[in-house]
């Protein structure tokens, strides 16, 4: 790996890191905000330039980090000529846009927010062009859609801005989904998801029967992103964004992402009839159609938007021809289009900024008032028209030369004629941009008096215009080498690159003459042609899009309302039937091997346990409306399951199950206090019979599947063999279950305690919200539907017993915790045991009594537990090992014998504290509701610590 290759992930990451600063730096002023936005872009550009010499020598820089190699998802980056070209455009023009936006945006616009969105988009685009893994590329691809949505909708107060953002996200997002499928197919054919590998599998890919589906799906993503017909309509509506967005996204970056991907995949997808017909036809149609529409647009940005669509179609057509020479021209025109179109968008923004209008009918004569802007716009527009000696002329001539020799449909000259027609329209709208905006007499009815802006606003387009001139006059000096290395990356060969001005009296010359003369004539006839255009009925893409959107919304609403009507029974029934159906299809489509094991003999004890479990379950179903009885039956089921774990020699699972059952039953008993004694019957008999039938079929299916699995051996060795072999020497513990929880699968346990803590915090937040709102007033007047009470809510014997058992229970919890690494136990079980001990104090002596003696907040207990677990995991990183990898050793303190000390104990401590905190916070939340409901109980008659006793006559909740 070249040393410069190490810069690639930094280049990709810098814009994302830089996005953290604009929102903060705007407090220090607009200049500071712009400077901190430009800094990461400049640094990334410098690093790219450091990589450039190696790429210009023909090297391909690669950098890779294995992330999920089993899934083919690696963080791989690659920089070749094509990536260098696009990354240079993204960062270089991005830097100019940052400067331009600093002076374009008004003080009312949140500049920090704008620059944050801009850098997020820049990072996504850089990620696309540097990715060497198609899965990574897809992530960046979708990020461009999301970040462009934010940029297009930046002016949230404009309805057209919001709609344009939604339209862009919808179209490009759907295309991105199609492209994901195509890329996955392509990676499956090539046997790898790395682009550097895929690009070497041309024969295998094109010979595959899945080539055409993959091609169509990938092209859908490219066409939607690059606004090709029939997906062209979103780009003009995105012009509601601020002009810096239009100049960046819609001329130099986002819309060229589709072109980049077509160029990137050119070596393996091009060269087939399918590629030629789909890509070249789409590009040619888009080129001609959009150019014609652009001629009749009165909004400056709309004219430039459709001209952008047309030129994107031109490049798409060239890539579709499938020849190396056409690929060279496509690469060259990508450079030229980025320079003159970004400059034109900026000049349109300057006109709008100074004259307060973009309506061409209200402009004219600006050359007298805005000479600098006029000069910049004229040069860029002449380049767009293909007038010498500017760079657009060179690539236009080369394009006409290629299509003149290509047979498409009909006569041999058909493609050349249509391309000439598109060039003719291009000349016409370019001339119109100059003539109708800047030429003619000055007017006295401008919305505002136009004048040239300050240097900060015209510096960026002026620089781009300088490139237009330099590339046009000395193309081989200023663009030849870059075109060569980029075309080499596209064609995977050494293409012939010779850019010159005089082609001789060849067909391309006469085609160009026709385009220029015809464009001038069209401009002369623009007024009558405009009247004909306005009088001609034509379909409006926006109307069709809105109609499709409304229809899709209505269909999805009807489907959603029909399925998700608020009835849990319907949702459960649909889910169960779907799962059962999928299982039946899987069973019918696959073969089942013969049993390889004998069924174990059924003895009396497990048979009795099984019968009790079935009986308790049946009773639970039958009497579920009685909530208290249902809870008792649930406890019986949990107890029998615990006994089953004991029978199968799984003491850890048995301890966990029975501890969870006790905690759950106690908490649910408290929750039942706020519910009616019986659940009302809301379902009809027919529906209950339907649900019973579905449940019976599902249960029989699961039982059959379990039975079939237990009678057969696995094709591969179970992972339990690895756990048994490595539990002690790898994790330092003989209790395999505990070592799995705190080491082998410690990350799972880490996630579980976080979820447990979040659940407790959510319960707390919900109860606090209820108590502070109308629910709190309702609870204060509510009387529970209670069972008959004995009168003594805190019996003396129970109070004494729990006080005596408290230290014993804590000692048992400590014992279970300390022995967990080598014997049944651990932090989770110990936490539950300690929580049960605390719960018993609440039940025996009352909530107020127990809380008066509470010394630690349960929120803090959860936080400290998660923090300890996190620090333990990070400690493994510091030792150069994976997160949460445990270590152990042996310590000897005379006269104490040698004993083992493992880092897993610290992680188990975090688990212990989180479990205790979560259970007690949930109890505390429910008890708060109980106290608000007006329940009062007498203080327990005995208190171990008189100093903390409740005063006589004081009431407790």
Most confident of 523-527, 899-903, 920-924: 523-527
- Structure tokens belonging to residue 829: 């079980």
pLDDT tens for 418-444 read: 999 999 999 999 999 999 999 888 888
Asked whether 742 and 904 are in contact (CB, 8 A), the reply is: yes
pLDDT, tens digit, 9 for 90 and up, residues 705-716: 888 888 888 766
Evaluate if residue 473 carries a pLDDT over 60.
Answer: yes
Judged by average pLDDT, the poorest of 548-552, 716-720, 914-918 is 716-720
Pairwise pLDDT comparison (254 vs 208), residue with the higher score: 208
Domain membership of residue 257 (yes or no) is no
Q: From residue 63, give the alpha-carbon distance in Å to each of 128, 486, 744.
A: 15, 19, 30
Q: Minimum mean pLDDT among 574-588, 688-702, 775-789, 801-815: which range?
A: 775-789
Confidence of residue 956 (pLDDT cuts 50, 70, 90): very low
- As a whole number of angstroms, the distance between CA 238 and CA 166 comes to 9
Spatial separation of the C-alpha atoms in residues 230 and 261, rounded to whole Å = 19
Phi/psi for 747 (5° steps) reads: -65, -35
Confidence at residue 783, expressed as pLDDT on a 0 to 100 scale: 59
Q: Please tell me the distance from the alpha carbon of residue 636 to that of residue 609, in angstroms, as a whole number.
A: 11
Quick check: 508 pLDDT over 60? Answer: yes
Over residues 469-483, mean pLDDT: 91
Q: Distances from the Cα of 946 to the Cαs of 579, 859, 941, 942, 943, in angstroms?
A: 61, 29, 11, 9, 6
pLDDT, residue 178, reads 93
Task: Give me the mean pLDDT over the 780-784 stretch.
Answer: 59
Task: Decide if pLDDT at 940 tops 60.
Answer: no
State which of 467-481, 522-536, 795-809 shows the largest mean pLDDT.
467-481
> What is the predicted pLDDT for the residue at 122?
94
Q: Is residue 455 part of a domain?
A: yes
Among the three residues 480, 501, 524, which one is the final residue of a domain in this structure?
524
909 Cβ neighbours under 8 A, 6+ residues apart: 827, 865, 868
Q: For residue 748, is it within any domain?
A: yes
- Tell me: pLDDT of 892 over 90: no
173 CB neighbour count, 10 Å cutoff: 14
**Most confident by average pLDDT, 631-635, 742-746, 841-845:** 631-635
> How does residue 411 score in pLDDT terms, banded at 50, 70 and 90?
confident
Four-CA torsion 895, 896, 899, 904, nearest 10 degrees: -120
Contact 744, 723 (CB under 8 A): yes
| pLDDT (average), residues 805-825 | 88
For the segment 913-929, what is each residue's pLDDT rounded down to a tens digit? 999 999 888 888 877 76
DSSP 409: S
Per the model's pLDDT, the better-predicted residue between 738 and 303 turns out to be 303
In this prediction, residue 942 carries a pLDDT of 37
Average pLDDT over residues 364-370: 90
Per the listing, tokens 């309702």 go with 778
**Which has the higher per-residue pLDDT, 855 or 932?**
855
The model's confidence at residue 792, banded by pLDDT at 50, 70 and 90, is: low
The pair of structure tokens assigned to 689 is 């019979």
**Within a domain: 88:** no
HSE-CB at 307 with a 13 A cutoff on CA atoms is 37
C-alpha count within 13 angstroms, C-beta hemisphere, residue 179: 27
Last residue within a domain, chosen from 524, 544, 577: 524
pLDDT single digits (tens) 118-169: 999 999 999 999 999 999 999 999 999 999 999 998 888 888 888 888 898 9
CA distance 897 to 407: 91
| Domain assignment of residue 49, yes or no | no
**If you average pLDDT over residues 218-247, what whole number do you get?**
89
Per residue in 663-706, pLDDT tens? Answer: 888 888 877 777 777 877 777 788 888 888 888 898 888 888 88
At residue 194, the 3 state secondary structure works out as strand
Residue 939 has pLDDT above 70, yes or no: no
Instruction: Say if residue 827's pLDDT is above 80.
Output: yes
Q: Which two tokens stand for residue 814?
A: 């400590």
Pairwise CA distance, residues 154 & 99, whole Å: 18
Alpha helices in 820-857 (DSSP H): 827-845, 847-852
Residue 712 belongs to some domain of the structure: no
Which tokens sit at 512? Answer: 């160009």
pLDDT of 250 > 90? The answer is no
Cβ atoms of residues 609 and 640 within 8 Å: yes
pLDDT of residue 46: 95
Q: Is residue 593 part of a domain?
A: no
pLDDT digits (tens, 9 = 90+) for 97-114: 999 999 998 888 889 999
Residues forming a β-bridge with 359: 299
743: helix, strand or coil: helix
Res. 804: pLDDT tops 60: yes
- How confident is the prediction for the chain on average, in pLDDT? 86
Out of 336-345, 408-417, 622-631, 935-944, which region has the weakest mean confidence (pLDDT)?
Answer: 935-944
Q: Per-residue pLDDT for 652 more than 80?
A: yes
Task: Select from 481, 476, 380, 395 the least CA-distant residue to 431.
Answer: 380
Number of domains in the chain: 2
Listed residue (305, 206, 195, 321) closest to 261, CA to CA: 195
Domain C-terminal end among 524, 557, 585: 524
* Bridge partners (DSSP) listed for residue 66: 74
Report which listed range, 517-521, 566-570, 899-903, is most confident: 517-521
Q: Is residue 697 part of a domain?
A: no
- b or e along 264-280 (b: 16 or more beta carbons within 10 Å of the residue's beta carbon)? bbbbbbbeeeebbebbb
pLDDT for position 432: 93
Q: What is the Cα–Cα distance from 219 to 316, expressed in whole angstroms?
A: 11
Q: 131 forms bridges with which residues in the sheet?
A: 77
pLDDT at 781: 61
* Mean pLDDT of all residues in 769-795: 63
> Mapping DSSP to helix (H, G, I), strand (E, B) and coil, where does residue 87 land?
helix
Range of the domain at 444: 273-524
pLDDT, position 898? 64
Q: What are phi and psi of 853, to 5 degrees?
A: -105, 5
What average pLDDT does the segment 483-500 reach?
88
Q: Of 799-813, 868-882, 919-933, where does mean pLDDT reach its minimum?
A: 919-933
Mean pLDDT across 500-523: 85
């Amino acid at each position: 790996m070249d040393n410069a290759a190490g810069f690639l992930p930094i280049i990709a990451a810098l814009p994302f890191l830089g996005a953290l600063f604009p929102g903060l730096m705007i407090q220090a002023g607009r200049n500071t905000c712009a400077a901190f936005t430009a800094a990461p872009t400049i640094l990334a550009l410098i690093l790219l330039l450091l990589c450039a010499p190696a790429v210009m020598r023909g090297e391909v820089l690669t950098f890779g980090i294995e992330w999920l190699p089993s899934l083919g998802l690696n963080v791989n980056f690659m920089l070749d000529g094509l990536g260098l070209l696009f990354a240079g455009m993204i960062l270089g023009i991005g830097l100019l846009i940052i400067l331009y936006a600093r002076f374009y945006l008004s003080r009312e616009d949140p500049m920090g927010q704008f620059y944050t969105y801009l850098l997020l988009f820049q990072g996504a685009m850089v990620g696309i062009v540097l990715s060497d893994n198609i899965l990574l590329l897809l992530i960046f691809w979708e990020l461009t859609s999301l970040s462009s949505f934010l940029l297009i909708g930046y002016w949230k107060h404009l309805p057209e801005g919001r709609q344009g953002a939604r339209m862009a996200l919808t179209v490009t997002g759907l295309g991105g989904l199609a492209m994901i499928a195509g890329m996955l197919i392509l990676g499956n054919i090539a046997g790898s998801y790395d682009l550097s590998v895929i690009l070497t599998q041309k024969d295998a890919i094109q010979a595959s029967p899945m080539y055409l589906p993959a091609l169509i799906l990938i092209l859908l993503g490219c066409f939607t992103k690059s606004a090709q017909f029939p997906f062209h309509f979103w780009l003009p509506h995105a012009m509601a964004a601020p002009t810096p967005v239009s100049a960046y996204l819609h001329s130099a970056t986002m819309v060229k992402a589709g072109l980049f991907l077509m160029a990137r995949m050119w070596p393996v997808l091009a060269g087939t009839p399918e590629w030629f017909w789909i890509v070249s036809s789409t590009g040619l149609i888009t080129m001609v159609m959009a150019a014609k529409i652009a001629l009749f647009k009165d909004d400056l940005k709309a004219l430039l938007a459709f001209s952008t669509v047309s030129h994107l179609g031109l490049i798409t057509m060239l890539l579709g021809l499938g020849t190396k020479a056409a690929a060279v021209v496509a690469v060259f025109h990508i450079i030229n289009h980025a320079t003159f179109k970004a400059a034109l968008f900026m000049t349109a923004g300057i006109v709008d900024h100074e004259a307060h209008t973009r309506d061409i009918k209200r402009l004219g004569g600006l050359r007298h008032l805005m000479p600098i802007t006029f000069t910049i716009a004229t040069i860029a527009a002449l380049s767009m028209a293909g007038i010498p000696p500017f760079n657009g002329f060179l690539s236009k001539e080369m394009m006409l030369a290629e299509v003149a020799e290509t047979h498409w449909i009909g006569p041999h000259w058909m493609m050349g004629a249509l391309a000439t027609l598109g060039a003719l329209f291009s000349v016409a709208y370019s001339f119109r941009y100059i003539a109708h905006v800047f030429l003619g007499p000055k007017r006295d009815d401008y919305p505002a008096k136009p004048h040239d802006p300050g240097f900060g606003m015209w510096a960026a387009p002026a620089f781009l215009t300088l490139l237009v001139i330099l590339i046009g006059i000395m193309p081989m000096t200023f663009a030849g080498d870059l075109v060569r290395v980029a075309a080499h990356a596209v064609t995977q060969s050494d293409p012939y690159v010779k850019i010159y001005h005089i082609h001789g009296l060849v067909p391309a010359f006469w085609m160009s003459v026709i385009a220029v003369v015809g464009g001038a004539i069209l401009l002369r006839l623009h007024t009558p042609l405009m009247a004909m255009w306005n009088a001609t009925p034509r379909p409006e893409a926006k109307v069709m899009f809105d109609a499709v959107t409304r229809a899709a919304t209505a269909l999805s609403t009807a489907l959603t309302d029909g399925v998700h009507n608020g009835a849990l029974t319907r949702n459960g029934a649909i889910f169960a039937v779907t799962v059962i159906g999928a299982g039946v299809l899987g069973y019918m489509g696959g073969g089942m091997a013969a049993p390889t094991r004998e069924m174990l003999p059924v003895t009396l004890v497990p048979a009795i346990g099984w019968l009790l479990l079935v009986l308790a379950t049946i009773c639970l179903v039958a009497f579920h409306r009685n909530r208290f009885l249902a809870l008792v039956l649930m406890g019986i089921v949990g107890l029998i399951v615990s006994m089953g774990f004991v029978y199968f020699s799984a003491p850890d699972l048995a301890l966990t199950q029975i501890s969870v059952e006790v905690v759950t039953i106690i908490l649910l008993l408290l929750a039942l206090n706020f519910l009616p004694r019986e659940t009302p019957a809301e379902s009809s008999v027919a529906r209950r019979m339907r649900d019973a039938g579905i449940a019976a079929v599902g249960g029989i299916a699961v039982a059959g599947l379990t039975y079939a699995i237990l009678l057969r051996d696995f094709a591969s060795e179970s992972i339990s063999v690895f756990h048994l072999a490595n539990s002690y020497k790898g994790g330092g513990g003989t209790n395999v279950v505990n070592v799995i929880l705190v080491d082998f699968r410690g990350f799972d346990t880490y996630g579980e305690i976080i979820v447990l803590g979040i659940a407790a915090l959510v319960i707390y937040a919900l109860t606090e919200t209820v108590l502070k709102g109308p629910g709190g007033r309702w609870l204060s007047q509510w009387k529970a539907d209670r069972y008959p009470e004995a009168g003594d809510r805190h019996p003396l014997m129970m109070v004494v017993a729990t006080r005596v058992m408290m230290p014993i229970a804590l000692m048992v919890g400590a014992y279970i915790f300390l022995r967990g690494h080598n014997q049944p136990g651990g932090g989770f079980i110990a936490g539950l045991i300690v929580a049960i001990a605390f719960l018993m104090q609440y039940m025996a002596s009352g909530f107020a009594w127990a809380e008066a003696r509470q010394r630690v907040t349960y929120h803090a207990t959860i936080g400290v537990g998660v923090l300890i677990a996190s620090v333990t995991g990070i400690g493994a990183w510091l030792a150069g090992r994976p997160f949460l990898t445990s270590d152990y050793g042996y310590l000897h303190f005379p006269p104490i014998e040698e004993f083992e000390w493992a880092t897993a104990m610290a992680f188990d401590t975090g688990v212990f504290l989180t479990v205790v905190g979560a259970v007690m916070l949930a109890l505390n939340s429910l008890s708060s509701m109980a106290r608000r409901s007006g329940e009062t109980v007498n203080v327990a008659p005995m208190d171990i610590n008189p100093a903390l006793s409740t005063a006589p006559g004081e009431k407790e909740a």
